[in-house]
Each structure stands twice: as structure tokens, then as C-alpha cells.
């Protein structure tokens, strides 16, 4: 039998733990109001197999959840920006995923560094979204309800 003092103590413990069990839901996205999942795929590797894997993961997620049920961003920085170069052999796959609602972000800091080192800025597909700091953008997305996956 629970005494009054025990009941008050139990209630106090439950109230103290309540913030730990409740998780704030992220606000709906303007371009994806029905998204149930938010995923950010990190691409920081210039390896063609790794790039192909990221594209396959994005494609599989779109198939599994339908484009309107998932918000999916691929953030490319460092050698990973090679995927978004205009001459990349996977350009058609990238553009197909963009047409299905996947957002591809390219790190401006990486582009600036390449331009400084080589004297030429890499040509990037026009549909890629420039973000100043790729890692910073990933951090911002994860703070706003996205789950980071690094295939």
C-alpha cells in the first residue's frame, strides 16, 4: 500500500523525469509538410564506390517512404563534392533524385579552397544548393530533427 508521502514522492520523480521522456517534434518543413522522416546523408569521400553507395541509399529511401514522406538531403564537402561536378558520371542519377525531391548541398568553403589551390573553381551542377560550411549545415540539420547517416 502506497502512503501519501510515497505517492507524493513518486509523483515528484515522474515530474522530474517527464522532460527526459518527452521529445519535441520538429516543425513541419515548408517544402515537405508531410515528411515523417528527416535524413541527412554525409558525403565527404571522393571514392566513386562511396558516391554510388550514397546515391543508392538515397534512392532506396525514396522508394521505401515515398518522396513526400521523407525529407532527404545529401551534404557534400571535401572530396565528396566530386559527385556534384558537372562531368561526374553519376550526374543523371543525381538529377533524377533531385527531381524526386532529394536536396543536394555543396560546401562553398570546399569550392573556395579548390579555387585558391588550383586557380579554377570546379563546375558544379546547377541544381546543387550551395551551403557555406558543409559540416555546419549538417550540424544545423541534426539540431532541427534530421538523422545523420554516413554510408
What pLDDT does 63 receive?
Answer: 94
**Averaged pLDDT, groups of 10, the chain, 151 residues long:** 53 49 57 85 96 97 91 97 97 97 97 97 97 98 96 92
According to the model, what pLDDT value does residue 102 have? Answer: 96
Domains along the sequence of the chain with CATH: 26-149 (3.40.1260.10)
CA distances from 10 to 2, 15, 101 (A): 10, 9, 48
Question: Terminal CA-to-CA distance of the chain, rounded, Å?
Answer: 53
Instruction: Tell me the pairing of strands 129-131 and 147-149.
Output: unpaired
pTM of this structure: 0.80
Amino acid at each position: 500500500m502506497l502512503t501519501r508521502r510515497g505517492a507524493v514522492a513518486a509523483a515528484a520523480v515522474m515530474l522530474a523525469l517527464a522532460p527526459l521522456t518527452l521529445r519535441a517534434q520538429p516543425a513541419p518543413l515548408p517544402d515537405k509538410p508531410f515528411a515523417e522522416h528527416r535524413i541527412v546523408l554525409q558525403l565527404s569521400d571522393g571514392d566513386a564506390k562511396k558516391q554510388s553507395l550514397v546515391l543508392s541509399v538515397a534512392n532506396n529511401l525514396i522508394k521505401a517512404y515515398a518522396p513526400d514522406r521523407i525529407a532527404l538531403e545529401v551534404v557534400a564537402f571535401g572530396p565528396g563534392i566530386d559527385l556534384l561536378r558537372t562531368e561526374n558520371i553519376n550526374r543523371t542519377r543525381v538529377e533524377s533524385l533531385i527531381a524526386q525531391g532529394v536536396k543536394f548541398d555543396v560546401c562553398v568553403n570546399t569550392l573556395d579552397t579548390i579555387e585558391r589551390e588550383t586557380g579554377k573553381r570546379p563546375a558544379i551542377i546547377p541544381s546543387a544548393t550551395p551551403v557555406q560550411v558543409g559540416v555546419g549545415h549538417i550540424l544545423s540539420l541534426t539540431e532541427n530533427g534530421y538523422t545523420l547517416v554516413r554510408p
